[in-house]
Amino acid sequence: MWARWGFVIVCMLFVIFVTNEVIQVALLYDDKQTMDARGNWIESVAVRQGKVQVDEFESSFSQFAKKEHIQLTLYNRDRKLIYSSTGKEKKTLDQIAGLRESGDFLVYIKALKSDGAKVGYLKINGYRTSIVGLGLVYCLLAAAGIALLYYRDYLVLSYARPIRFASRMVENLLEGSYNMIAPDHVKRESILRLNLALNRMSDAMHEINRSYTRQQDSMTTLIENIGNGLLFVDGVGRINYVNHTFKEDFQTRATHWELADYHEVIPYDEVRKMIDEVFETKEKLARQLQFTVHIERKHFDISCAPILNKHKKIRGIVVVFHDITAIKKLENTRKDFVANVSHELKTPVTSLIGFTETLLDGAREDKELEDQFLHIMLHEGRRLQSLITDLLELSKIEREHFVLQWAPVSLSDVLESVLLILREKAEAKKIKLEYLQGDEGVVAGDAFRIRQIMINLISNAISYTPENGTVTIAIHERKSEADLVISDTGMGIEQDQIPRIFERFYRVDKARSRDSGGTGLGLAIVKHLVEAHDGKIHVTSVPGKGSTFTITFNKSST
């Protein structure tokens, strides 16, 4: 600041100095002209007949000197004084010709000539021409300069501050901060208009930003919660966005997917081909594909749509993955179910028709054969009946509004009544049916349904245990749960078959099971009933040694 002011003042002094010098030089030139004119006049008067003659013109010279306010001195050729208007001059002249300054005075010396030869010398002492008040003018000039500088600084400051504020505000706006407000009470109109415009711009940008954020939020919520996997590929084939459902469906964290080329990261050939195709054709594409995700086989309905700009150029591609595995599974189960039911029904019906035809063809003549056939027909009829009963039961349990008659149920009481029925069946197979008396196990449930669960499980244990085996049943109570444990010393089940035995119509050994009169629906019913009780089933089995089925019920709170 001070350096700047110092510089300005030095510059101003320099300007004043130069101006002063120029004026002085101009004045001196003017003075020389005047001196020359005077010198010429005196020369024309004083030089006569090759000499300087004073006597007859002495009075003219004195008058001239008085009028012009100068001192006039004349010397002869030998520089000896011959006339002085003041009478105080030296006798000889020792200076050379020319114009000289001495303080406020000027000394002018001229060689007087006649026909080119020096005949004498003239000396004029006179005042310099000076401009009165020049200093004052300089002072005023300097003051005006400084005032101008001050005004300029004031102007600069009064504009610079609001402009600096405005630029800071604009920078903040660009960074997304909208809390600065430009003052709206300034006097200068241009600044006021600038400030008002800035405030309006800030408000508008804030509003745009808010609505953009709102839109973005709802878009993100929509994309994340749409329930379908979504993948966005940009116009040059880089992956722009992968939603949460996609990551879940394909069990990938997709951390390195962002901005990667889709050819490099999407592990499914068919999907890459679909995207390639859409890039080529610019047309929407939908396909059903199946992929292996880890150990699971998954089915997807995939639609691939281009995002086009108004010039029909591809800006990106959206790929939607709709997981239809559950639907596919259901479809397959339904198909299997119909096939299974038809097959299961067909066997006894064929057998019934076969035996009836044989009887009609004359087999009834033979009383013994007729008796045997009728027994087989009764067996097949019962099998058909039990199949239909089980199917009806299963469909009843599977129905959505199937409800249990909830009540506290004593597992030991139900078990006792079940054992009464099944004891005979066990004895027929010489199987030891053992109940390890212990806890009572009062659980929350439906007594009738729990009885059904027990009958199914204990019948299985008896059916799939060879003669002289043992079936052991126990009830264990824990803090909030009670277990019903049914173990047998039977044929057991292979580990990989365990989850399958709960499927409808699934039998490990179809022929043997069918012989034992089984339909393959018993465990499917058990599974549904246990689930309805919020219970759990646990199976352990060693083939050839036996199996243990543990059903966990929740204890009744009363």
Ligand X SMILES: Nc1ncnc2c1ncn2[C@@H]1O[C@H](COP(=O)(O)OP(=O)(O)OP(=O)(O)O)[C@@H](O)[C@H]1O
Q: Contact positions toward ligand X, by CB under 6 A? A: 390, 456, 460-461, 463-464, 488, 490-493, 501, 506-509, 513, 518-524, 547
Nearest residue (CB) to ligand X, 243 versus 340: 340
Question: Minimum Å distance from CB 503 to ligand X?
Answer: 8
Exposed/middle/buried for residue 213 (C-beta within 10 Å: 0-12, 13-18, 19+)? exposed
Going by C-alpha positions, the residue among 507, 547, 501 that lies closest to residue 523 is 501
**Residue 249, contacted partner among ligand X, Mg ion, none, CB below 5-8 A by kind:** none
Nearest to Mg ion of 228, 460 (CB atom): 460
* Among Mg ion, ligand X, none, residue 321 binds (CB under 5-8 Å by kind): none
CA atoms within 13 A on the CB side of 440: 8
Q: How far is the CB of 482 from ligand X (least distance, A)?
A: 21
Locate the DSSP E strands across 33-87.
Answer: 47-48, 51-52, 70-76, 81-84
**Minimal distance, residue 525 CB to ligand X, in Å:** 8
Give the nearer residue to Mg ion in terms of CB position, either 121 or 506. 506
In angstroms, give the least distance from the CB of 390 to ligand X: 6
How many CA atoms are closer than 13 Å to the CA of 327, on its beta-carbon side? 8
513's contact among Mg ion, ligand X, none, with CB below 5 to 8 A by partner kind, is: ligand X
Which residue, 39 or 348, has its beta carbon nearer to ligand X? 348
The piece of 308-316, 331-339, 456-464, 467-475 that touches Mg ion (CB under 5 A) is: 456-464
CA distances 317 to 85, 238, 348, 350, 396, Å, are 115, 10, 58, 58, 48
Pairing of strands 442-445, 239-242: unpaired
Size of interface with Mg ion, in residues (CB under 5 A): 2
Closer residue to ligand X in complex, CB, 56/509: 509
Minimum separation from the CB atom of position 554 to Mg ion (A): 25
- Name the strands in the sheet holding 314-323, side by side, starting at the edge strand that comes first in the sequence: 239-242, 229-234, 314-323, 296-308, 285-293
Question: Minimum Å distance from CB 488 to Mg ion?
Answer: 12
The phi and psi torsions of 191 (rounded to 5 degrees) equal -70, -40
Question: Which residue lies nearer to ligand X by CB, 249 or 488?
Answer: 488
CB of 522 to Mg ion, least distance (A): 3
Instruction: State which residue, 390 or 483, has the beta carbon closest to ligand X.
Output: 390
Structure tokens at 381: 């009829």
Select from 263, 367, 382, 395 the least CA-distant residue to 317.
263
Q: Name, in order, each residue with C-beta under 8 angstroms of 55's C-beta and a sequence gap of 6 or more.
A: none
Residue 465 near Mg ion by CB under 5 A:
no
Q: How far is the CB of 255 from ligand X (least distance, A)?
A: 45
Scan for tokens 């060879």, then name that residue.
466
Over the window 506 to 525, marking each residue x when it contacts Mg ion by CB under 5 A and - when it does not, the resulting string is ----------------x---
We find the least distance from the C-beta atom of residue 470 to ligand X, in angstroms, to be: 12
* Cβ nearer to Mg ion, comparing 482 with 493: 493
Which two three-digit tokens encode residue 103?
A: 């303080």
Q: Residue 467 — φ and ψ, nearest 5°?
A: -55, 150
**Min. distance of Cβ 462 from Mg ion in angstroms?**
10
Residue whose beta carbon is closest to ligand X: 522
Whole-number Å distance between alpha carbons of 337 and 391:
11
When asked if residue 460 is in the footprint of Mg ion (CB under 5 A), the reply is yes
Instruction: Find the residue with minimal CB distance to Mg ion.
Output: 522
Q: Looking at beta carbons only, is 180 or 532 nearer to ligand X?
A: 532
* 482 neighbors 555 (Cβ within 8 angstroms): yes
Task: Report the partner that residue 306 touches, choosing among Mg ion, ligand X, none (CB closer than 5 to 8 A by kind).
Answer: none
Task: State in Å, rounded, how far the first CA of the chain is from the last one.
Answer: 93
- Give which of 165, 169, 166, 178 is closest to 204, Cα–Cα: 178
31 or 390, CB closer to ligand X? 390
Amino acid at 183: P
User: Strand 481-488 vs strand 546-554: parallel, antiparallel, or unpaired?
Assistant: antiparallel
User: Based on CB atoms, which residue is closest to ligand X, 31 or 380?
Assistant: 380
Residue 103: Cβ-neighbour burial (10 angstroms; 0-12, 13-18, 19+): exposed
Stretch that binds Mg ion, among 99-107, 434-442, 452-460, 500-508 (CB under 5 A): 452-460
Residue 135 or residue 517: which is nearer to ligand X going by CB? 517
Residue 47 contacts residue 120 (beta carbons within 8 Å): yes
How many Å apart are CA 143 and CA 126, to the nearest integer?
34
Site for Mg ion in 42-61 (CB under 5 A): none
The least CB distance from residue 471 to ligand X, in Å, is 9
Taking a C-beta distance cutoff of 8 angstroms, is the pair 75, 123 a contact? Answer: yes
Min dist CB 505 to Mg ion, Å, is 11
For residue 508, the partner it binds in ligand X, Mg ion, none, with Cβ less than 5 to 8 A by kind, is ligand X
- Going by their DSSP bridges, the two strands 432-436 and 470-477 should be labelled as parallel
Give which of ligand X, Mg ion, none residue 501 binds (C-beta under 5 to 8 Å, depending on kind).
Answer: ligand X
Please give the residue ranges that form the binding site for Mg ion (CB under 5 A).
460, 522
